[in-house]
Amino acid sequence: MVDVSDKVDTARTAIAQSLVELTPAIVAAITDDNLPKGDLYATARIAGIQAAKKCSDLIPLCHPLPLSKITVDIELQGNSLVITALCKTTGKTGVEMEALTAASVAALTVYDMCKGLDKGMIIRETKLLEKSGGKSGDWSAQ
């Protein structure tokens, strides 16, 4: 694990996103609130939040962080669900991995909740959108 003990604590934020491409049958079930496993949005949101909190247990050499804020927003856009995760902390290392993990696990949860209707979903474009804080400063995807 990288030694961050000499680094100063700074406010840090990261936003990541995953896209889940859906089939027409799944879009219809989501729109009609008719998924057999229940509330897709609440379940995926909670899964993403839990994943961000457990990031250091899942990613080798990732520092455990005291997260001060985690949000997971899910929006149906056409035939895709856009999952956006935001993580914040004040600490010595960034929260990019926590945000990416939250978005990824929320997308996997969507797949799990919908696979009984159609397994043809595709999880795409898990990426960091932006980060702020720390020695390297702010960064934003093009």
| 2-11, 94-103, 124-133: least confident range | 2-11
Strand order through the sheet with 122-132: 67-77, 80-91, 10-21, 122-132, 139-140
Crossing angle of helices 40-53 and 96-114, rounded to 10°:
150
List 9, 39, 112, 138, catalytic entry: 112
For 44-71, the pLDDT digits (tens) are 999 999 999 999 999 999 999 999 999 9
pLDDT given for residue 61 in this prediction = 93
State CA 95 to chain mean position distance. Answer: 11
CA atoms in the 13 A half-sphere facing the CB of 29: 20
CA atoms in the 13 A half-sphere facing the CB of 8: 6
pTM: 0.95
Residue 74 pLDDT > 90 = yes
Please give the class, per CATH, of domain 23-133. Answer: alpha beta
> Is 9 annotated as catalytic?
no
Confidence of residue 135 (pLDDT cuts 50, 70, 90): confident
pLDDT given for residue 49 in this prediction = 98
Residue 1 pLDDT > 90 = no
